[in-house]
Amino acid sequence: MGLEVVILFVALSYVLGSPTPQPYDTIVIGLGSAGTTAASTLARAGKRVLALEAQDRIGGRVNTVPFGDGLVEVGAEWIHGTQHSRVYDLAIANNVTLMSQDSEFEAYRSDGTTSDAQLVKELMMYCLEVADTPSEEQEALGHYITRKLNVYLQEKHPKILENQDFMDSFLKFMNFIINSYEATNDWNDVSAYTKYESLEGNQHMSWHRYGYKTFFDILLDKYNNGPGLPTLEIKLNTEVTKVTWPQDPKENVIVTTKDGTTYTANNVIVTISLGVLKERYTTLFSPELPQKKITAIDKLTMGVLDKIIVSFEKRWWGDALLDFFLLWRPEDLKDLPKDDWITKIGGISMPMGSNNTLTLWLNGDVAKLVETLPEEDVKSKVVELLRRFMGHKYTIPEPTGMIRSTWFTNPFTRGSYTYDNLDVPNHPTARSDLEAPLLDSAMKPRVLFAGEATNEKHFGTVHGASETGYREAMRLLPNDSNV
């Protein structure tokens, strides 16, 4: 069926009405990076697609919002890598100017004194290089990095090993940095053995004033007042509660939503997060999932990375693009309550889409806690933290605004992204098992799975999620399809 015929068919069905709604070619559940990529790829190929999104917006764990004097990213912040990236390539193909967030660094200690920023940066970059080189042994990432760092310091900076206070402070800081990359609670929760691969090129490319939302506008042909995709129907605020998949090739997949409405299609692509799958897979699918997929859902782990973004009447930290490193001295930690969550914050960055805002990063259990705290309590703690570390150099005013991410308490995400836990080496096929489609008796895919958790090499990234959406769309299209 040609694209023109499909468009005419859809238009006539709206004008004339249809006593029996025709089944869609594909229903896509979730409109994050994976779902939007899958839905748009199929629609561009002329397929009749219905996309159901439980939230009131498109983007999933990408969420660009107006804040401060511009835009900020409540979810994904950067494009990680420029080589063979679907996200980067789409931006460039549509003449979107991206900016590299090459920040200068200032390092502060918890008594307000400064630390050697260049040394901290050198050691941090070395540790990140180690983390990016998978260990051949099955060990915790924190142990692996610490072991390698000790050898490096012995060769390059032997005297630093004698400074136990600095070593304790730096290792705590580095634990925070790794957790911010992995969305973990502790760097020893992560496996040093992993199949993850970074894309080549700059790892911190920013959408700045365009906002990451632009990626979705491009996918849906809405960028620069584009007309959209006529064979793609989108329903927001539509929570799916049941996916009934047939063994009989002549029967359709039935998708039921919370309000009791049912939709039918030849197949369905499920792109909901691993966190939501963990919570709902027993009731979401009928018949139940095969054991391999259940094991994959059980063994993989969803991490949490959150942000506190604060705005000020004006920029008080100078004109440079800065990242602030926060190193807690062991003696200062003794003076604070053990449950004081600000001691788990080790870094602050500047959003490139807004000139008068700062982003504080939280991960793991601390992130989960802060999502539940009263607004004013969080704001006062942020000011306390900024003044403790930087008050000697800067006059820090009260914030004019604050927003927080809530990726864990959000019932439609239940986390930020996945990481390789210590059990992953014992289940090397977990991600591919999660990816595997459910087939009918004719061996045709009826329920397909996409999302960053199903990407063995690029999980935890927007480009990795997009790759999986494209992968599943192409699984349904003819081999000679050119989209």
Whole-angstrom distance, CA of residue 293 vs CA of residue 143? 31
- Give DSSP secondary structure letters for 57-107: SS-TT--EEEETTEEEESS--EE--SSS-HHHHHHHHTTPPPEE---EEEE
Whole-angstrom distance, CA of residue 179 vs CA of residue 361? 10
Residue 295: enclosing H or E segment and its boundaries? Answer: helix 291-299
- The stretches of 96-185 forming alpha helices (DSSP H) are 117-131, 141-156, 164-182
Single-letter amino acid code for the residue at 155:
E
Whole-angstrom distance, CA of residue 72 vs CA of residue 52? 26
Contacts of residues 249-257 at CB distance under 8 Å and 24 or more positions apart, as own/partner, are: 249/440, 249/441, 249/442, 249/444, 252/23, 253/27, 253/446, 253/447, 255/27, 255/29, 255/52, 257/52
CB 459 within 8 Å of CB 453: yes
Give the pLDDT of residue 481: 64
Nearest to 471 by CA among 93, 452, 81: 452
Largest CA distance in the chain: 82
Give the pLDDT of residue 253: 98
- pTM to 2 decimals? 0.94
Mean pLDDT per 10-residue interval, the chain, length 483 residues = 47 44 90 98 98 98 98 98 97 97 94 95 96 89 97 96 95 97 97 95 97 98 97 98 97 98 98 98 98 98 98 94 94 84 95 97 97 97 97 96 98 98 94 98 98 98 98 90 67
3-state SS, residue 4:
helix
CB 270 within 8 Å of CB 280: no
What residue segments make up the domains of the chain, in order of their start?
3-61+209-300+422-476, 103-201+305-406
Class of domain 3-61+209-300+422-476 as given by CATH:
alpha beta
Nearest to 67 by CA among 390, 323, 308: 308
Give the pLDDT of residue 82: 97
The predicted-structure confidence for 293-333, as pLDDT tens digits, reads as follows 999 999 999 999 999 999 999 999 999 899 999 999 999 99
CATH of domain 103-201+305-406: 3.90.660.10
Query: Euclidean distance between the first and final Cα of the chain, in Å?
Result: 16
Whole-angstrom distance, CA of residue 184 vs CA of residue 150? 23
Give the pLDDT of residue 15: 43
